[in-house]
Amino acid sequence: SAPDFARAIPILQQLEQAGYEAYFVGGSVRDALLHLPIHDVDIATSAYPAEVKQVFARTVDTGIQHGTVMVLLHGTGYEVTTFRTESGYQDFRRPDHVTFVRDLAEDLKRRDFTVNALALRHDGTVVDLFAGLSDLAEHRLRAVGDPHARFHEDALRMMRAVRFESQLGFHIEAATTAAIADNAALLAKISVERVASEFNRLLLGHWRQQGLASLIDTGLAEFAPRLAGQASALQAFAALPATPFASLEIGWTLLSHFLQQAPGPLLKAWKQPNALIAATQHAVTLLAAMPQPSDWQLYEAGEAAVVTATAAQTYLQPDFDAASVQTRYAQLPIHAAADLAINGGTLIQAGVQPGPKLGQTLQRLTQAVVAGELPNTQAALLAASRADPC
Ligand code: ATP
Ligand code: MG
């Protein structure tokens, strides 16, 4: 983690040499102080965007209306954002309009949680205006300022709180928790995509049980798509073994299982991508056949769903032998229509009439090969197709 900051230090120094203030801010400071790997290095500065562009030779206007200029250094792009305040919140969502300011304090006080409101200078000095360092040491999430007002301004922060709980293993302190409970209904004002992005990160967190417990206990779940009135199903889902989900597919498969909701409508309500929906549908179908799915059910599920559903089953049945089911799948004679020694064209050449019956014949031959009843050779399959009683 340190090297990432180290490489970006010249950016802070050059801004200071030009007469401005500049700091590392946001999640990378938090994560570095926690000795976690850092992702994006966010830099905040008193320089206005046009001034940032004057200081550096190579910049890209990535989000200039929000005050962000990307500075290119040694082939890496660093986001440099002017200190700003956000005012004029409407509809409980983040405003589009921002005001640039010269004062770091103004910028830090608009941030969501004290552990996200630390600033780190190039010399290693930490600016800590809201006792974020002690909250960090105590693994505590505390809203900056009046929690009620802050969640009223931007209801997404409530989802971020439970997401950070799951990601970091922190606890939301009492006044912040109470304010989430009071404002939970405002979650309905936030776009589903943004709520889903936080929820997905909650699902994948190492302290998922903790994040889910807060989602339920604060009442936030009542205002999330298709989770209202599902407290007992959610409790059961939250009580699954604590092992982190290795994929979103596993998380959504188990959630769909406990909610007894088909993945299609559930994941569409959460505006999830079609690929995730399809993968989850296959896995849920196979999960319903666990712990002893037939060879045909394994074939129809496909490899990805076999991996997902066997992993999901281990949460439901800790002694489940996922490896042996995966081995059975691997040892199937074929894994896809393309593996079959014949196809529609081969059958037509052999004199079978095109039409619906052709498809049925192919399906029967596929099933027989998967079941090990027929060898997967052209000769055997053509002979069987001629013998087909239909
Ligand atoms: P991660 O990158 O792991 O998601 P992060 O804390 O860096 O965590 P970002 O969404 O990258 O989260 O935001 C960067 C910083 O911007 C945050 O640390 C916080 O200071 C501030 N921030 C982001 N979203 C909000 C918000 N909705 N309200 C207030 N401040 C926010
Ligand atoms: Mg970040």
Does pLDDT of 390 surpass 80?
A: no
pLDDT at 303 exceeding the cut of 90: yes
89 band by pLDDT with thresholds 50, 70 and 90: low
Can you name the CATH fold of 139-239? Answer: Hydrophobic Seed Protein (1.10.110)
**Average pLDDT score over residue span 287-304:** 97
Residue to substitute in 25, 116, 159 for testing ligand 1 pocket (most ligand atoms within 8 angstroms of CB): 116
Cα–Cα separations (whole angstroms), residue 180 to 82, 256, 276: 30, 26, 30
Tell which residue, 361, 370, 363, has the closest CA to residue 388: 361
Nearest to 284 by CA among 309, 311, 315: 309
Q: Over range 77-93, report the average pLDDT.
A: 82
Report the distance separating Cα 151 and Cα 283, nearest Å: 37
Quickly name the fold that domain 339-387 has. Serum Albumin; Chain A, Domain 1 (1.10.246)
Binding annotation? 27, 30, 40, 42, 111, 154, 157, 160, 163
The rounded mean pLDDT for the chain is 95
Inform me whether the pLDDT recorded for 355 exceeds 70. Answer: yes
* Nearest Cα to Cα of residue 304 among 368, 364, 246, 238: 246
- pTM score of the predicted model: 0.94
> What is the DSSP secondary structure assignment for residue 245, as one 8-state letter?
P
Q: Tens of pLDDT along 189-247?
A: 999 999 999 999 999 999 999 999 999 999 999 999 999 999 999 999 999 999 999 99
Q: Is the CB of 290 under 6 A from ligand 1?
A: no
Question: Measured between alpha carbons, how far is 390 from 381 in angstroms, rounded to an integer?
Answer: 15
User: What number is the ipTM of this complex?
Assistant: 0.99
Task: Please give the CATH architecture assigned to the domain spanning 245-332.
Answer: Up-down Bundle (1.20)
- Compute the distance between CA of residue 90 and CA of residue 176 in angstroms, rounded to an integer: 21
pLDDT of residue 111: 97
- Closest ligand relative to 111 C-alpha: 1
Residue ranges for the binding site for CTP? 27, 30, 111, 154, 157, 160, 163
Distance, in Å, from the CA atom of 247 to the CA atom of 250, rounded to the nearest integer, reads 5
CATH superfamily for 1-138 is Beta Polymerase, domain 2 (3.30.460.10)
Instruction: Give the whole-number percent of the chain exceeding pLDDT 70.
Output: 96
Residue 1 has pLDDT above 60, yes or no: no
Overall average pLDDT of the 248-274 stretch: 98
> Does 3 score more than 60 pLDDT?
no
Q: Rounded CA gap, 370 and 311, in Å?
A: 23
What tens digit of pLDDT does each residue of 122-137 get?
999 999 999 999 999 9
Confidence class of residue 40 from pLDDT cuts 50, 70 and 90?
confident
Please state, in angstroms and rounded to a whole number, the distance separating the CA atoms of residues 324 and 239: 26
Q: Whose CA is nearest to atom 30 of ligand 1?
A: 111
Question: Closest residue (by CA) to atom 6 of ligand 1?
Answer: 27
111 close to ligand 1 (CB < 6 Angstrom): yes
- Parse the chain into domains and list their residue ranges: 1-138, 139-239, 245-332, 339-387
